[in-house]
Structure 1
Amino acid sequence: MALAGPIVAGLFLLAALYCGTDPFNHRPMAKFPGFEVYPVELPPWSELPAARDAENRLQKAELRFVNQVQGPESITFDPLGRGPYTGVADGRILFWNGESWSDFAYTSQNRSGLCDPKPSLFSYLENEHICGRPLGLRFNKKTGDLYIADAYFGLLKVGPEGGVATPLTTEAEGVPFKFTNDLDIDEDGSIYFTDSSFNFQRRYCSFISPEF
């Protein structure tokens, strides 16, 4: 028992050295040797908005579209204010015209009967890499084009009339995307988007640890 303390301490020391030196390049940014970190200055708490919703209106909000769409991810409105548009579990992007939902766009170039609606969300996981899973949607307000972050097909774009989206990129600096997640577009038209994993696709993330 007397040796247990030094052994545990030694193991912690080795773990700290491993994490600090990363001899096998396991850290998330190892594949991006030119990556640089920049500090972000946050305002002091005293300058943050202090307003609160005294009426708690979000809790009183109306729940819409129950049992009409499966697994909606991200909503957006087009430059004319129409919508919402949302990506759903079977890979479609749907449009609400004020009365009903209709198909607007698809991210997969190879949709088939495998992508038909299913009884539960988990039923889609097996074929998500074929049918697509649009997670992030944003319209370019100047062009009317819809930009899409699909978990499997990377960054795509479709015109104002919809249809099959055109792939834009599936990698950055030679590193393939594994889990493209969300995006935003600034006033200049520059696109910012996230890739949630270097190692695992979305369909495996229900069965692995959070260490992506």
Structure 2
Amino acid sequence: MPYMTLRQGFSIGFLLLALYCALDPFEHSPIAGFPEFEVHKVDMPAWSEVPKDRDKENSLQKSEILFVNQVQGPESIAFDPLGRGPYTGVADGRILFWNGHSWSDFAYTSPNRSEALCSPKASASASALSYVETEHICGRPLGLRFDKKSGDLYIADAYFGLMKVGPQGGLATSITTEAEGVPLRFTNDVDVDTEGNLYFTDSSTNYQRKNFIQLVFSGEGTGRGFKYDPATKETTVLLRNVQFPNGISLSKDGSFFVFSEAMIGRLRKYWLKGDKAGTSEILAVLPGFPDNVRVNGNGDFWVAIFSRRYTYGYLNALYPKMRKVILKLPIPTKMQYMLLIGGRFRAVVVKYSPEGKLLQILEDSEGEVVKAVSEVEEKDGKLWMGSVLMPFIAVYNLT
């Protein structure tokens, strides 16, 4: 009888656990509240093609950490045509300017900005994620680029689209919020050529930035890439059906641009001039999830890798049905995400030639100093690294 009772108890416990997992009554699952959520297979490269190169010296641990808790989520780093800066967009919707001594407000993107909602949070526990619920009101500037001729700053705001502010700063003005009648839902990065044409990315037509984790888990491919012509004020769709297009950077000679495919872990080259104009090709398979990409003075490309690709995440990308079963489990979103990136934040930056050759890799494989990186800007022999999650800017001396 005791044996039967134990077996019955185990059976009842198993049924209750199964019921709990199926119903998720406390909505712990990352896809709770997303009834139309669908999973898609990610167009992954073969595992053998994923670079295994390592920075055995963990060079990024030698970085200097600046402005701790003075900047929350400095996604993009920019310097104006006079070399002043850095300028950076932060989580509360402002674009800040470092004058060499202190930070000052330079610009903001939301015409509906409310000081009550958008002012920097004084709490010691505040982080870049503390502002997510008000981003659609306060704005969230991501990619930043200066026009070297006019001094205008172009802004990819996740919610307000492609924007511009003059050299004196202030409220940014809207350039475009849609293309072909489809709204920009997640404007991510921008670059400008010598003629003033703008090239930019929109990561998804379904998910906004505040739901970027659901976008990652979904693997959907509704991202687009564009050209905006200031003379005609027309926005042309150059790229369609991309799985999470992220950073974008023109080549040094302007003959092509490079953009990152965050879900796939690739760099692609889109030709603007020559016989291949209007076509794209794979430039490089990356060691992990890329964010922004920036060209340096030699014409090489620095790519920020948010996290290396691990076996668990690779298999999740290849097998969407398995992924959906796992996502339905009442496992908190943060835990699911950390499993995807290998359990903790570890920053990697890589440099590629215009032909796609891996030239340099720098990392902090233990996440001790530079935990995460969203962008790498090379200036005067130093790498300035921002992160959409961290409360600081890291600087690494290349010399």
Rounded Cα–Cα distance in structure 1 between residues aligned with 2:199 and 2:103:
28
Rounded Cα–Cα distance in structure 2 between residues aligned with 1:169 and 1:147:
12
Q: Within 5 Å, which residues of 2 pair with 1:85-96?
A: 85-96=87-98
Q: Establish whether residue 116 from structure 1 lines up as the match of residue 123 from structure 2.
A: no
CA RMSD of aligned residues (A): 2.3
Range that drifts further, 73-82 or 109-118:
109-118
Rounded Cα–Cα distance in structure 1 between residues aligned with 2:117 and 2:70:
20
Rounded Cα–Cα distance in structure 1 between residues aligned with 2:57 and 2:193:
32
Residues 66-92 of structure 1, C-alpha deviation per residue, up to 9 Å, x if partnerless?
121101110100000000000000000
User: How far has the Cα of 1:120 moved from its partner?
Assistant: 2.5
Task: Give TM-score scaled by structure 2 length.
Answer: 0.39
Structure with higher strand content: 2
Instruction: From the superposition, tell whether residues 108 and 56 of structure 1 become closer, same or farther in structure 2 (CA, over 3 Å).
Output: same
Instruction: From the superposition, tell whether residues 126 and 80 of structure 1 become closer, same or farther in structure 2 (CA, over 3 Å).
Output: same
Letter in 2 for 1:108: S
Q: Which residue of 1 aligns with 2:47?
A: none
Rounded Cα–Cα distance in structure 1 between residues aligned with 2:195 and 2:135:
33
By relative contact order (CA 8 Å, sep 6+), the higher-ranking structure is 2
Find the residue that maps to 1:206 and give its secondary structure: helix
Residues 80-112 of structure 1, C-alpha deviation per residue, up to 9 Å, x if partnerless?
000000000000000000011000000000111
Q: Establish whether residue 211 from structure 1 lines up as the match of residue 214 from structure 2.
A: no
Find the residue that maps to 1:203 and give its secondary structure: helix
Find the residue that maps to 2:164 and give its secondary structure: strand
Q: Which residue of 2 aligns with 1:131?
A: 138
User: How far has the Cα of 1:114 moved from its partner?
Assistant: 0.5
Rounded Cα–Cα distance in structure 1 between residues aligned with 2:75 and 2:218:
20
Find the residue that maps to 1:205 and give its secondary structure: helix
Q: Which residue of 2 aligns with 1:83?
A: 85
Q: Which residue of 1 aligns with 2:181?
A: 174
User: How far has the Cα of 1:172 moved from its partner?
Assistant: 1.0
Question: Where does the alignment leave 5 or more consecutive residues of structure 1 unmatched?
Answer: 1-25, 29-52
Question: Where does the alignment leave 5 or more consecutive residues of structure 2 unmatched?
Answer: 1-37, 41-54, 221-399
Aligned length: 163
Letter in 1 for 2:118: C
Rounded Cα–Cα distance in structure 1 between residues aligned with 2:110 and 2:193:
26
Task: Give TM-score scaled by structure 1 length.
Answer: 0.71
Rounded Cα–Cα distance in structure 1 between residues aligned with 2:157 and 2:218:
20
Rounded Cα–Cα distance in structure 2 between residues aligned with 1:92 and 1:141:
22
What percent identity do the matched residue pairs reach? 73
User: How far has the Cα of 1:54 moved from its partner?
Assistant: 11
Q: Within 5 Å, which residues of 2 pair with 1:141-152?
A: 141-152=148-159
Residues 37-84 of structure 1, C-alpha deviation per residue, up to 9 Å, x if partnerless?
xxxxxxxxxxxxxxxx99976442212111211011101000000000
Instruction: From the superposition, tell whether residues 114 and 144 of structure 1 become closer, same or farther in structure 2 (CA, over 3 Å).
Output: same
